Amino acid sequence: MKKFTKTLISAAVITAAMSAVTTAQAADKLLLKTPIAFGSHLPALGTPIKWVSEQLKLVSDGSIKMKVYEPNKLVSPPEILDAVSSGKVNSGYATAGYWQGKLPAAALFSSVPFGPEAGEYMAWLYYGNGLKLYQEMYDSNGYNVKVIPCAINAPETSGWFAKPIEKPEDLKGLNMRFFGLGASVMEKLGVSTTQLPGGEIFGALEKGAIDASEFSQPAVDKLLGFHKIVKYNYFPGWHQQATVFELLINKDTWGKMSKGQQAIVETTCKASMTNSIAEGESMQFPEMEQASKNGVKIRYWNDTMLKTFEEAWGEVVAEKTAADPFFKKVWDDMSEFRGRYDLWEANAFLPRAKQK
Contacts 24+ apart (CB under 8 A), 130-137: 130/333, 130/334, 130/337, 133/329, 133/330, 133/333, 134/96, 134/109, 137/103, 137/105, 137/106, 137/109, 137/326, 137/330
**Angle formed at CA 42 by CA 285 and CA 57, multiple of 5 degrees:** 115
Beta bridge partners of 148: 247
Beta bridge partners of 110: none
Closest by CA position to 198, among listed 21, 34, 45, 19:
45
pLDDT given at position 310: 98
User: How far apart are the C-alpha atoms of 94 and 80, rounded to whole Å?
Assistant: 8
The string of DSSP codes covering 97-118 is GGGTTT-GGGGGGT--TT---H
User: How far apart are the C-alpha atoms of 203 and 216, rounded to whole Å?
Assistant: 17
User: How far apart are the C-alpha atoms of 235 and 299, rounded to whole Å?
Assistant: 6
| Domains of the chain by residue range | 30-154+242-282, 159-240+296-348
The torsion defined by the Cα of 247, 249, 254 and 258, in degrees rounded to 10, comes to -40
User: How far apart are the C-alpha atoms of 165 and 313, rounded to whole Å?
Assistant: 18
The pLDDT tens digits along the chain (356 residues) read: 433 333 433 444 334 433 433 433 444 899 999 999 999 999 989 999 999 999 999 999 999 999 999 999 999 999 999 999 999 999 999 999 999 999 999 999 999 999 999 999 999 999 999 999 999 999 999 999 999 999 999 999 999 999 999 999 999 999 999 999 999 999 999 999 998 888 899 999 999 999 999 999 988 888 888 999 999 999 999 999 999 999 999 999 999 999 999 999 999 999 999 999 999 999 999 888 888 888 999 999 999 999 999 999 999 999 999 999 999 999 999 999 999 999 999 999 988 644 33
User: How far apart are the C-alpha atoms of 256 and 90, rounded to whole Å?
Assistant: 12
User: How far apart are the C-alpha atoms of 64 and 67, rounded to whole Å?
Assistant: 10
CATH 2.60.120.10 at 30-154+242-282, yes or no: no
The string of DSSP codes covering 23-53 is HHHHHH-EEEEEEBSS-TTSTTTTHHHHHHH
The torsion defined by the Cα of 316, 149, 277 and 205, in degrees rounded to 10, comes to -50
> Is residue 248 within a helix (H) or strand (E), and if so which, with residue range?
strand 243-250
Q: What letter would DSSP give residue 229?
A: T
Amino acid at 78: P
pLDDT given at position 196: 87
The torsion defined by the Cα of 33, 86, 180 and 125, in degrees rounded to 10, comes to -70
CATH 3.40.190.10 at 159-240+296-348, yes or no: yes
pLDDT given at position 352: 61
List all residues 6 or more positions away from 195 whose beta carbon is below 8 Å from its beta carbon: 177, 178, 179, 183
